Amino acid sequence: MLSSFLSNPILLGLFLVVGLVLLVKGADWLVDGASSLAKRLGVSDLVIGLTIVAFGTSMPEFVVNMVSVADGATDLAITNILGSNIINTLIILGCSALVCPLVAQRSTIRMDIPLNILAGVLVFTFVFITSPMEPRGLSRIEGLALLVVFAGFLAYTLFSAKSDVQTTNEPAPFPIWKCVIFILLGLVGLIVGGEMIVKSAVSIARYCGVAESVIGLTIVALGTSLPELATSVVAAFKHNNDIAIGNVVGSNIFNVFFILGTSATIQLLPVYPGIELDAALVALSSLAVWLSLLNKKQTIHRWGGAILLLLYAGYLTYRLLTY
């Protein structure tokens, strides 16, 4: 029944529209719930964006990687993370900056984005470290090293949250129980909506005769980043820069240090053709964002967002031509 459903272009189009509605509404609920929770707890939106929102929107990557490792599809476990981080940085921040110029906190410029750069540098370095006992790739020791860095980041963020308690006379819109419900409903909407969009888009692409390699590099790669995209763009529309930036930066940190670290700890992740370029671009794209913020207003302007999108277009073109 599912196969006949996915072969009907009209039903596929309806499936796609419903997925988009769930995605946008889920992002709306998540941003409202997270922002309200930050006010209730007396912490900044940035801390909530770097932790709760970032981890929630990274759940598709986490599920894909755990299933990939269990099935022995180790190529997907690495490409999923590196591809998602590239899309997060270049497409999601690019689109968000086009909607509304993004102002970053000093802690983001000094700590969080440099940690994103370090993530790409470490993966790039690890794939060149070889052991006589193992093939080239990310080993269990290197996975543990990534997890140690992640633990340090989490401790630093929680410490910052305690030392940066905010007081405001503005009442929080929701009580805590309602904040939690909005966050959970938002995450469900994002994940279910994203899954519906990916399945319908892949089926439509196949129906139109698009090659599998193109589908993998575009639709599937973007699919696991749809929650981050919807959340950050909606946050930008609401002028909540801290959640828009914190969601992307935090998600990238979760992806490499926690998800990829956990995957490599469970099983050796061998390299794949082109991993050097992907790992380098993870670092270079974060470096480009960091450089774009080195101005008096610490802002990614609309022209900076356009440059990020052009960088991704150039990368995708090269990957498709050399795949």
**Cβ neighbours of residue 262 closer than 8 Å, sequence gap 6 or more:** 65, 66, 143, 147
Q: Residue type at 63?
A: V
On whether the CB atoms of residues 264 and 64 are closer than 8 A, the answer is no
Domain 50-165+207-322 has CATH 1.10.540.10: no
Parallel, antiparallel or unpaired: strands 137-138 and 269-270: antiparallel
- For the chain, the structural domain boundaries read 50-165+207-322
On whether the CB atoms of residues 205 and 220 are closer than 8 A, the answer is no
Strand partners, 270: 137
Q: In Å, how far are 15, 30, 61, 243, 290 from 57, measured between CA atoms?
A: 21, 10, 9, 12, 22
pLDDT in tens, 259-281: 899 999 988 888 877 788 889 99
Provide the pLDDT for residue 84.
Answer: 84
Which residues of the chain form beta strands (DSSP E)? 102-103, 137-138, 269-270, 299-300
The CA distance from 74 to 118, in Å, is: 22
Provide the pLDDT for residue 318.
Answer: 86
pLDDT in tens, 147-175: 999 999 888 887 776 655 555 455 556 78
Q: What does the longest C-alpha to C-alpha distance in the chain come to?
A: 62
Per-residue pLDDT of the chain (323 residues; tens, 9 = 90+): 455 555 677 777 787 778 777 877 787 787 778 778 777 777 777 777 777 777 777 777 776 677 667 767 666 678 778 888 899 899 999 999 999 999 888 888 888 899 999 999 999 998 877 655 556 778 889 999 999 999 998 888 877 766 555 554 555 567 888 888 888 888 888 778 767 766 776 676 667 776 554 565 566 667 667 777 878 888 888 888 888 888 888 889 989 999 899 999 988 888 877 788 889 999 999 999 999 898 888 899 999 999 999 999 999 888 878 76
Q: Please, is 51 exposed, middle or buried when counting C-beta atoms within 10 Å of its C-beta (0-12, 13-18, 19+)?
A: buried
The CA distance from 285 to 92, in Å, is: 12
Residue whose C-alpha is closest to residue 279's, from 142, 110, 92: 142
Return the structure tokens found at 293: 């913020």
Helix (H, G, I), strand (E, B) or coil at 269: strand
The CA distance from 103 to 301, in Å, is: 9
Radius of gyration from C-alpha coordinates of the chain: 19
